[in-house]
Chain A
Amino acid sequence: MPLDYRRFNGPEDSVSYKRFTKDYLKSYDELYKELLDDNGVRKDGRALSEARSMCMFFARTDMVSQAKGSAYVELRKTKVVCSVFDPREIPHQNEFSQLGQIFCEVKFAPFSCPRRRRPHAPDAEEKALSVALRKALEPTVCRHLFPNYQVDVFIYILEHDGACLSAAINAAGLALADAAVPMYDIVTACSVAIVGDRLFVDPTEAEEHVATISPETNSNHGVITMSMLSELKQISDFTLIGSMDTECVNTAMDILEKECETLVPQIQKILVTNVVKSFEQRQRLEEEANDREQALNIKMEEWRKLLNAG
């Protein structure tokens, strides 16, 4: 990894103080037990199969005034900002490309992760997330409409509490729609963490962490993220990490398909409210303009009378 010498790079071997706390020394079984209480309810009060899409989901557009389109998605403690910029010519390219391109960049805030500080330079995980995001967005954008141009999509993860890729895809879909980039369908995404025979839908960071640790036994574990174009019934990206059998993959796919569909009305609602709002605003502006014109006309009349009289 090349170092950025223009910044002050802290001592490389510094470690988080959390390493010396009791939490850090917990065994796999203890960590696993902590995820659920005795009634099988998760730490934040959700059932296993309950996503954060219902009450803990907040999204809006027009976050960044400089960008063509932007969105902010919040899944309780996961907070993601996305901005989309106008198409521009693809830099450093000699050949003409028939299809427009989407350039994605995912960046974690240095303070976003609970376990360690994120470096400024993009690390392997951020690069992998950027590639996954691009693959999820490519089938949904009408890329033939802007040949030889690229649309930039920037994701900034302010806080990471699990499911950051699905939050990023949802935010990017919303921001692209907000930027009026032509699209075939609304893209939504959801993830699931698998620990043994339990499936944690829309996992938190702690749940994802346990799911990525390999257990001693030969049981299933892993994280799956899937993005869908629900209206067209197409999967645009599917990412699996861990180790699991076919049956587990199939059940997870069915669950994720359903969850992706439940998100669509919420996204639609935000987009429709946007249209209604902008329509109302335009009407209001027109009315104000009319009022001003009338006031001016009245004044004109008065002056004309004065002139004629004088």
Chain B
Amino acid sequence: MAGLLLSPTEKVFIVHGVQEDYRSDGRSNIDYRPMELETDVVSHASGSARLRLANTDILVGVKTEIDVPSPENPDLGKIEFFVDCSANATPEFEGRGGEQLAIGISNLMQRAYHSSQAFNLKQLCIFESKQCWKLYVDILILECGGNLCDAVSLAVKAALFNTRIPFVKAALMDGGNVDLQLSDDPYDSKLLDVGSAPLQVTLCKIGDKCVVDPSAEEESCSVISVIVGITGNSSCFSEDNSSPDTGGKFTTIDMNGPGSVAPKTLKDAINQGRVAAKLLDKSLGEALLRERQESVKLKKYSYGFLK
């Protein structure tokens, strides 16, 4: 991380703290830092969210466009992720500096959303093998304070939850071409089913133990981190709590950093990640549902960026 210099003694202090399950900011090894989340912040996007996790600031906007489905999967829509590392975050990202990191994160997101058990692309189908919705998920990293992957996955899920897709009024076959008529009314739209969308949890190996949600200082003490993507529980994201518990499956596991881990440590880490992801998913669902209710009652007060 840019501009971060830690002396060996400071590193030892952090490592010892983790060993005792007591980190330098007072958290235990499986605690997240407080987060701020707000949806519907960008007026021109179909769905948007802004997440602030300590010093990490992420803005996600979802744009919907109409595309032709790929011949291999005529009944599926498309979703694409783009990450932009703004030079505001750190001077290192200036020019093409953040490119590698951006490609890494967008690849990881693409892989996490690959399975239909994570995100069902069938709901984006308009007319089989003719037309489908394409979601462009644009992720903007405004500030970089460690733990980017987790923050990005949370913000993306919130933005998708907030995304509205217009209803298709009529689809006329005109000489083999589809003619769509969409409603002008912005409220005449459907919401996406994103309950099972995956969350990513980064487990940073410090000493012998793994910590969740590492700060930038802690990240610099570790040579390897394991990133797990876990599918969400749909029942947490709908008002009726009747649907059964689902999710908790791994959609992606990846290792980041120059080090290596023992098989047992990896197994422990992915289990720890699964527990953390479940808790995170539950609280994200609660927060998003609460905000949706507020916006229905027109009580929502927009905070925007200047708070």
| A237: chain B residues within 8 A (beta carbon) | 255
- Whether B260 pairs with A235 at a CB distance below 8 angstroms is yes
Most chain A CB within 10 A, of B104, B254, B256, B260, is at B260
Known: A253-B263, A253-B266. A212 touches B103 (CB 8 A): no
| Chain A residues within 8 Å of chain B by Cβ, number | 38
Q: How large is the interface on B (under 10, 10 to 19, 20 to 34, 35 or more residues)?
A: 20 to 34
| Chain B interface SS verdict (over half) | mixed
Q: What are 16 of the A-B contact pairs (CB < 8 Å)?
A: A124-B110, A127-B103, A131-B107, A135-B255, A135-B258, A139-B258, A224-B253, A233-B262, A235-B255, A235-B260, A237-B255, A238-B254, A241-B114, A242-B114, A243-B115, A243-B231
Instruction: Check B155 for interface membership: any CB of A closer than 8 A.
Output: no
- The answer to whether B253 and A239 have CB atoms under 8 Å apart is yes
- Chain B CB count within 10 A is highest, among A229, A242, A244, A253, for A242
Cα A138 to Cα B223 in complex, Å, equals 11
CB neighbours (8 Å) of A244 from chain B are 249-250
At the interface with chain A, which of B56-64, B267-275, B279-287? Answer: B267-275
Given known contacts A236-B260, A245-B248, A15 and B266 CB-to-CB distance under 8 angstroms? no
If A131-B104, A241-B252, A245-B250 touch, whether A229 touches B266 (CB-CB below 8 Å) is no
A306 to chain B, nearest CB (A): 70
Asked if B258 and A138 make an inter-chain contact with CB atoms under 8 angstroms apart, the answer reads yes
B302 / chain A contacts, CB cutoff of 8 Å: none
- In the assembled complex, how far is the CB of residue A97 from the closest CB belonging to chain B, in whole angstroms? 12
Tell me the minimal C-beta distance from B229 to chain A in angstroms: 9
Q: How far is the CB of A233 from chain B (nearest CB, A)?
A: 6
In whole Å, how far is B121's beta carbon from the nearest beta carbon of chain A? 9
Interface string of B230-251 (1 = CB under 8 A from A): 0100000000000000101111
Q: Which residue of A lies closest to B261 (CB)?
A: A235
B residues within 8 Å of A by Cβ?
A: 71, 103-104, 107, 110-111, 114-118, 226, 231, 246, 248-256, 258-263, 266-267, 270-271, 274
Chain B residue, CB-CB nearest to A216: B116
Q: Which listed residue, A128, A224, A229, A249, touches B260 by the CB 8 Å rule?
A: A229
* Nearest 6 CB-CB pairings of A with B: A214-B116, A243-B115, A139-B260, A240-B253, A234-B260, A243-B117
Our pick among A233, A236, A246 for the contact of B270 (Cβ within 8 Å) is A246
B266 & A238 in contact (Cβ 8 Å cutoff):
yes
A107 beta carbon closer than 8 Å to chain B: no
Residue in chain B with minimal CB distance to A99: B258
When chains A and B are docked, how far (Å) is the Cα of A270 from the Cα of B51? Answer: 53
Complex alpha-carbon distance, A221 and B103, angstroms:
25
Chain A residues closer than 8 Å to B103, beta-carbon distance: 127
Shortest Cβ distance from A135 into B: residue: B255
A218 contacts B by Cβ under 8 Å: yes
Chain A 193-218: CB-based contact to B (< 8 A → 1; otherwise 0): 00000000000000000001010001
Whether B249 contacts A243 by the Cβ 8 Å rule is yes
- On chain B, the residues within 8 Å of A240 by CB distance are 250-254
